[in-house]
Structures are given as C-alpha cells and as structure tokens.
Amino acid sequence: MAADIQASLRSAKGYDVARRALELMETRGVWPTPRNFELWVRYLVDGEGPLAKEIDRLVAAGHAVTESVGEALAAQYLPDSRLDGGIREAGEVLSKELKSVTRAIETAQKSSEEYGQELASASQRLGVEDTGATKEIVEGLASATRKVQGKNAMLESQLAETTAELDRLRQNLEQVRRDAMIDGLTNLTNRKAFDERLAEICQHADAEGETLTLALIDIDHFKTFNDTWGHQIGDQVLRYVASVIGRLGAAPRVAARYGGEEFAIIFPAESGLTAVAVLEQMRLEISSRSLKRRSTNEDMGAVTVSAGYAERLSGEAITSLIERADAALYASKHAGRNRTSAASPMAAVAAA
C-alpha cells in the first residue's frame, strides 16, 4: 500500500490526488497534518480498502473525523508500514555493521596466520642456518609482531565503534517498538498491542492455572460532549480519563485505548473482586472532578464512565471473554450509565 501511494503521488495525477485529499480534509474539518494527509491519500488511492470503508462508515454514522479519531485510525491502519520501515532501516544498518566486523575479524585472522607462518619459518631457519643469520631472523619476527599489533589495535578500535553503533541502533529499535505499541493521543497501549498482550496473558494463565479479569470502560455521552464543546475539548477529556485509567491500570496490569472513547484494562492473575474495587475507584475519581473550559473558565460539568468486567473462566476463549465484558459494559449503559457491572458466566457457557 505504501508503494501504491508513492506511485500515485509520483504519477501524472499526483497533484490531483493531493488536491482532492486536501479538499476532503478541509470539507471534513480535518487538520492538514502529515498523518492526516496520509490517511486521506490512502482513502482516495484504495477506495475499497479497510481504511476507506471505516472512514465511510464513520461519516455515514455522522461521526466527525476528529484528531482522536484520526489517531485511532492511524494506530490501526498506519503503524505497520512505519514499523516495517523503521525495522528495515535498522536492519540495514545492523547488517552493514556486522559485515564490517566480519571483515575486521577476517583481516585479523589472516594477520595471525601470516604471523604463525613467519614463526614456523623462523624456527626452521634457526635449526639449519648459522648464527650469523640470527639477527635477520629476529628482525623479521619483530616486524611481524609489530604488524600483528597494528592490526589488533585497528580491530579493537573498529569493534569499539561498532559496539557504540549497535547500542544506538538497539535504542532506536526499542523506540520504534514502543511507538508502534502506544496510542498517540492518550499514551496508553494501543489496540493492536492490547490484542497481543491479552493473548499472551491468557496463554500464561492457562499454563499456570491462574485467572484473569478483563474490563471495558466507555465515556458516557461522549459524542454529545464533543458536539457541545468541540473536538479539541473532547481530546482533552480523552487524555484526562486515560490518565486515571493508566495510573490505576499500571503494570503488571495492561491499560489500553480500545477504540474511540472506549478503554480496556487487563488484570492478570486478579479476580473480579479485585477488579471491581479498582474500577469503582476509577469511576468515582473521574466523576469527582468538575471540568472547566480554560479559555472562558466556563463550567462543563463532570465526566462519567461506565464499566463492565468479566473474570475469565478456565480455558475460556478470548472472543468469549471480550463478549462477556462487552455485555457487562452494555448492561451498565442500559441501567443508566456511571456504574460498573459484572458479566454473567452463563454467556460463556452458552458460547462454548
């Protein structure tokens, strides 16, 4: 897909594609950031692709493509290409450094072989030649020794430089990995990384005979809040809620932005009783703060969240666990919002 975009922008219709993307962004009220530009160019180039279909779905449902929505779309549809590119670039550097080290080692080995041959030759000559040739032999040995010492010094210097470069490369790779796992708006784990971690934790729980609890959290009436106060304020609300969820869901728990205004927390080796206590603390803390608009000091009221949680049954499939947690979240919404509900285990039994 990245190649298709590059080909489209470099073709005779490249400027037309770029203009159409910017016009769409302006029409939708989307800021012309590089990330948003890439999203909308992808939308035009691959009109039948998953990104285009998701944007069409959001627009048809009346959702604005806000900064937070753009972040979610980019996290779901763009990070793979950035991650692959970062890893590919780092891999090329790593390959180059390893080739350099290999050449240096080969040179050192060759020098050592030559030195060994010189020693063997000297031994033979000392055994058959008269003492008048001793000086010449010693001088040859001294010259060979100096040559090997010089090669070894060069090798040590090159190895030191390569070690420093590999350390820098390792740090860059770690940063690329972190960026690919984090939601840009909230700094929580993104959906892709959340799915991977949930699978890993479920696998570990099965191996160790442990339980775990999954919670889904949704901001109440978020669309109404966005429409009333604007999307920039909406993004600030997302970050505020995420800060509380991230603190109470800190490692070894996993707090993630599940999508849009929905969040998730994995409680490894923790029961539903422990999870509900944390979720209630989270819910009460979020709703206790009355938000004010900074520019006008206007009171915007409190933000509330609804939550649902499911304690995993032994051997339960991930899809079943998510469905039960989602059903519990829906129960909280249906019962009036701003509350926490537990999932029924019967749903998992029926789905098994």
- Confidence check: pLDDT of 91 > 90: no
Backbone φ and ψ of 229, nearest 5°? -110, -10
CA dihedral 171, 175, 180, 185 (to 10 degrees): 170
pTM summary value: 0.57
- Confidence check: pLDDT of 88 > 80: no
More confidently predicted of 68 and 284: 284
How many angstroms separate the CA atoms of 188 and 15, rounded? Answer: 37
pLDDT at 147: 75
Model pLDDT for residues 99-145, shown as the tens digit of each residue? 666 666 666 656 666 666 666 666 666 655 555 566 666 667 667 67
pLDDT at 221: 92
Of residues 300, 287, 285, the one with CA closest to residue 233: 300
How many angstroms separate the CA atoms of 224 and 232, rounded? Answer: 14
Catalytic residue among 261, 262, 311, 316: 261
Under the banding of pLDDT at 50, 70 and 90, the label for residue 298 is confident
Mean pLDDT of 338-349: 78
Task: Return the bridge partners of 307, or none.
Answer: 217, 340
- Confidence check: pLDDT of 352 > 60: no
- Confidence check: pLDDT of 261 > 90: yes
pLDDT at 349: 43
Contacts of residue 299, defined as CB under 8 A and 6 or more positions apart, other chains included, come to 290, 291, 292
Place of tokens 């608009």: 293
More confidently predicted of 275 and 165: 275
pLDDT at 348: 46
Q: What is the 3-state secondary structure (H, E, C) of the chain?
A: CHHHHHHHHHCCCHHHHHHHHHHHHHHHCCCCCHHHHHHHHHHHHCCCCHHHHHHHHHHHCCCCCCHHHHHHHHHHHCHHHHHHHHHHHHHHHHHHHHHHHHHHHHHHHHHHHHHHHHHHHHHHHHHHCCHHHHHHHHHHHHHHHHHHHHHHHHHHHHHHHHHHHHHHHHHHHHHHHHHHHECCCCCCECHHHHHHHHHHHHHHHHHHCCCEEEEEEEECCHHHHHHHHCHHHHHHHHHHHHHHHHHHCCCCCEEEEEECCEEEEEEECCCHHHHHHHHHHHHHHHHCCEEECCCCCCEEEECCEEEEEEECCCCCCHHHHHHHHHHHHHHHHHCCCCCEEECCHHHHHHHC
261 is catalytic: yes
Residue 321 near residue 308, CB atoms below 8 Å: no
CA dihedral 23, 27, 32, 35 (to 10 degrees): -100
How many angstroms separate the CA atoms of 293 and 71, rounded? Answer: 23
pLDDT at 338: 96
Residue 219, classified by CB atoms within 10 Å of its CB into exposed (0-12), middle (13-18) or buried (19+), is buried
More confidently predicted of 309 and 145: 309
How many angstroms separate the CA atoms of 311 and 239, rounded? Answer: 27
Residue 259 near residue 185, CB atoms below 8 Å: no
Mean pLDDT of the chain, nearest integer: 80
Cα–Cα distances in angstroms (integers) from residue 203 to residues 156, 165, 200, 318, in the given order: 45, 37, 5, 10
Q: Quick count: other Cβ atoms within 10 Å of Cβ 202?
A: 21
The top-level CATH class assigned to 191-351 is alpha beta
